Amino acid sequence: MTANISNLPSLYDPFTTEARWQKFWEENQVYKADPNQGGEPYCIVIPPPNVTGSLHMGHAFESALIDTLVRYHRMKGRNTLWVPGTDHASIAVHTMLEKQLKKEGKTRYELGREEFLERAWQWKADSEGTIVNQLKRLGVSVDWTRERFTLDEGLSKAVLEAFVSLYESGLIYRGEYLVNWCPASGSAVSDVEVDNQEVDGNLWHFRYPLSDNSGFVEVATTRPETMLGDTAVAVNPNDERYSHLIGKTLTLPIMNREIPIIGDEFVDPTFGTGCVKVTPAHDPNDFEMGKRHNLPLINIMNKDGTLNAQAGEFQGQDRFVARKNVVSRLESEGVLVKVENYKHTVPYSDRGKVPVEPLLSTQWFVKIRPMADQALEFLDGQNSPEFVPQRWTKVYRDWLVKLKDWCISRQLWWGHQIPAWYAVSETGGQITDNTPFVVAKSAAEAWEKAKTQFGENVKLEQDPDVLDTWFSSGLWPFSTLGWPEQTPDLRTYYPNTALVTGFDIIFFWVARMTMMAGHFTGKMPFNDVYIHGLVLDENGQKMSKTKGNGIDPLLLIDKYGTDALRYTLVKEVAGAGQNIRLEYDRKKDESSSVEAARNFANKLWNAARFVMMNLDGQTPQQLGQPLATELSDKWILSRYHQVIKQTSNYIDNYGLGEAAKGLYEFIWGDFCDWYIELVKSRLQKDADPASRKVAQQILAYVLEGILKLLHPLMPHITEEIWQTLTQQPGDSLESLSLQAYPQSDNHLINPDLEAQFELLIGTIRTIRNLRAEADIKPGAKITTNLQTDNPQEQQILTDGRAYIQDLAKVENLTIAGVGEASPAEEPVPEMVEKKPLRGLKTIALIIVLLVFTRIGLATGKAIYEIPLMGRFFEIVGLGYASWFVVQNLLLAEDRQKLLAVFSAPRHPKEILQTELQQPPAPENAIAGVVGTVQVVIPLSGDVVDIATLRAKLEKSLNKAEAEAKSLSGRLSNPKFVDKAPAEVVQGARDSLAEAEKQAEILRDRLRSLT
């Protein structure tokens, strides 16, 4: 490549550009990490997307945030590694495959485990390719040579090591326990995989008769079908209404089973009737009560959500069908008292999307308390890991405190099969709850262990269940780096520097990783946890498949480009951890916010083309380091180094949105809109060579720095421009992403200069706005008067006179104090017409002086006759007269000033300035204020057609007044205000306020033209 502008097309095409650089980065392994490279390590592991998934806006948002951090720290010189990978998603894959099999009229059991797993691996190959290719389209700077999958060989080895180690340490056990069962997926799910949803339901009241026929007790329940498995009714022992019944028995309706009345302080006397049915096999609280009172556990539910033989006549019915039939039967028996509407919380399976069923089942568990306590010690003792924002620390801590034992077995086939082998020869060839087992890392090792215990004829069968997906994901930060082997990657990049993830999986994933890491490595898995928010839709709602309000990021990428979408997502973050809202027009599939980012990319592209067209084919390195000579040069260098400092500080503290906004303002505003415009005249061929060279140097220097600053946010367009600007050869392996990030030079930062230059910019902007308001012809040169009593501001305006005249097209510019006559103001007609009155004023003044002189002489004579006083006043009078002559009469210039005091009238503006902070514009002029500087532009036929302007303003005023009248009428109509939607009424009020304000502005403009 060369810096010839022909290599940079006139229009930026993000699609070919982005594809080219994504291919370049991957083929040349630009982001391959080297643990032997040295330097401070920086490592992030990707939150692995499900292999079944496709890219959604949450992936795009999270990836943009991570890639910004990774690219920034790589350019800062750190030994950087971003590990990519995907998760095998057991339940999701099973759900999809079983739907396919159902369409074929088959079940997985008919297919068999091996063939089912073959299908699963094929699904993985197809789907993983989709998600990986979509991630590549985002331009993420991951090391694809280190891509991992939670079922790959290395991670499977880590899972085996972890399971066996935890089992041998007594932290994994197998036992019967009440678990959350998902009938849809046919598997147990952990507490964190349960989504509690508030629903409108019912509360049914039933009468259970006492066995001695002496009465009854009334119970209330939201799940009537479970009464078939009741084994007791509980009351609070301190409840005087029922304490005398404790120890008696009831006859359970329908089942005719005798059950006891027990006393337990868990019962809330104020809930329902104060009597609670106890179903230990189908409710977690009842399960605990059952253990305390040695109650039998009667399971009435099959794993598919139908009722089993323990449910009697309702066997085979779906749980919700059985609910209706049980209620109907109880009603027919006369024991249904009433049914109430009741809003309550129902636990749903996060994967299966159906209500979970508490089910008694033999499962594998992790004894969580020792691991959670260790994680708490790291948090309380070392504040490790550190959460950003800090408020999530408490959420994380509370979760660790409340954690119960973790059910890790899943009744699925796709996943890590539990490394336990049952001696089925000991239990009739079947795996039962009591079948003995051995835990081992392989079948061979299991055989050796079992042979020792059960003899040579032992028959083994591996546990058919698989481990919870979160078990392998909990090892992700270190298993991806080679654990349990002490690999160079593990030694260099562990602990990870940061984890970037959403707040919704702190419980699912973050806590799992910290507990696993603390136990197996003795360290927390990452130093920082940056918790980001969600991407909300255009109405501020959470995106979900259920609502159907998701926004396809690939659609926006295809329309606006990857950089535009990435930049938008990061720029919208208004503080760490905050949700962002993405503007989106669903009818047109357009986003105004992403379109604005694309416009920003085009602005940078055009600015870069202009700069390179004016560098005479030279690179920034060939032009050399700039030495600022002019005010604008010093200003842009100060702003540039200030922005370097500001951006680095923001990103170092996870203020990514603030960094993006600051760069936008500097690039679009300071560099493109101002500095480039200010130096255009210096780039002409006939300009001063020395000044032209400095302008070229600074343009090239700042442009290259801008590309480096912006690269972490918009990697493709910055790479494309940088390659051309620096004349990289086509076969070069150099990449902008491997260049050093700019460092600020405090010696070049001048806050005072920046503040002063803001006054110049504000003045130019004000003049431009006034020109637009007055419809002054674009090419017309105008006269402008700048007035301020602040000497410092006068000096700033004087120093920047050339900039004001050049950029605001001002031909005659005067800078003076408020009220001072200026060359453009001296020939005032009113002053000429009032000259004949000056003589009369002078005669009147002389008469008044003579009268007062006569009075003064008489008074003086009287004083003079007092002893010593006469001599004193003679001396004083002589002294004052001498001083007055020297000060006011000796020189001609002084005499003219003295005469002016008596003869010159006060200027009208001078009088007004003492009365008003912002004087109105004189007739046929337009005025504005910036700071304490008044900007006045006299209007004349040379620059504007005043009659046409007046007509235009009057037409606009009539329109604004008519709109205000119409809106006011609507808002005064009670029917509109009371019946219209609140947002419509508020919109009308806002429109009325806007119309009234517009009318007021137009009236002010018309008054200035009178």
Ordered DSSP codes for 716-766: HHHHHHHHHHTT--TT----GGGSPPP---GGG--HHHHHHHHHHHHHHHH
Where does the pLDDT of residue 916 fall: very low under 50, low under 70, confident under 90, or very high at 90 and above? very low
Summarize pLDDT for 641-678 with one digit per residue, the tens: 999 999 999 999 999 999 999 999 999 999 999 999 99
Of 289, 281, 294, the closest CA to residue 234 belongs to 289
CA distance linking residue 332 with residue 328, whole number of Å: 6
pLDDT of residue 153: 95
- Sheet containing 336-349: which strands, arranged edge to edge? 216-221, 194-209, 336-349
Read off the pLDDT of each residue in 501-510 and give the average, rounded to a whole number.
82
CA 716 vs CA 21, 77, 562, 710, 721: distances in Å: 6, 20, 8, 10, 9
Is pLDDT at 828 greater than 80 in this prediction?
no
Read off the pLDDT of each residue in 103-131 and give the average, rounded to a whole number.
89
CA distance linking residue 567 with residue 712, whole number of Å: 10
Read off the pLDDT of each residue in 973-981 and give the average, rounded to a whole number.
85
Summarize pLDDT for 463-505 with one digit per residue, the tens: 999 999 999 999 999 999 999 999 999 999 999 999 999 887 7
Residue 65, both tokens: 């945030």
pLDDT of residue 887: 55
* 385 in Cβ contact with 377 (< 8 Å): no
Summarize pLDDT for 755-775 with one digit per residue, the tens: 999 999 999 999 998 888 888
The radius of gyration of the chain's CA atoms, rounded to the nearest angstrom, is 42
Read off the pLDDT of each residue in 268-294 and give the average, rounded to a whole number.
90
The torsion of the CA quartet 393, 398, 403, 409, rounded to 10 degrees, works out to -40
Where does the pLDDT of residue 860 fall: very low under 50, low under 70, confident under 90, or very high at 90 and above? low
Beta bridge partners of 306: 318
pLDDT of residue 272: 77
Cβ contacts of 188 within 8 Å, gap of 6 or more: 179, 180, 181, 182, 359, 361, 363, 407, 409, 410, 411
Q: What percent of the chain has pLDDT over 70?
A: 87
pLDDT of residue 861: 54
CA distance linking residue 442 with residue 446, whole number of Å: 6
Peptide bond into 9 cis (omega under 30): no
Peptide bond into 484 cis (omega under 30): yes
Helix residue spans in 914-945 (DSSP H): none
Where does the pLDDT of residue 867 fall: very low under 50, low under 70, confident under 90, or very high at 90 and above? low
Summarize pLDDT for 513-565 with one digit per residue, the tens: 999 999 999 999 999 999 998 888 888 888 776 677 888 899 999 999 999 99
Read off the pLDDT of each residue in 604-620 and give the average, rounded to a whole number.
96
Is pLDDT at 852 greater than 70 in this prediction?
no
Is pLDDT at 307 greater than 80 in this prediction?
yes
DSSP 3-state of 344: strand
Of 506, 440, 517, 540, the closest CA to residue 161 belongs to 440
Which helix (H) or strand (E) segment is 172 a member of?
strand 172-182
pLDDT of residue 827: 37
The chain-wide mean pLDDT, for the chain, equals 86
Where does the pLDDT of residue 850 fall: very low under 50, low under 70, confident under 90, or very high at 90 and above? low
* 24 in Cβ contact with 30 (< 8 Å): yes
For residue 616, how many other CB atoms are within 10 A of its CB? 13
Among 68-77, 143-152, 200-209, the minimum mean pLDDT is found in 200-209
* 363 in Cβ contact with 175 (< 8 Å): yes
CA angle 470/475/477 to nearest 5° reads 120
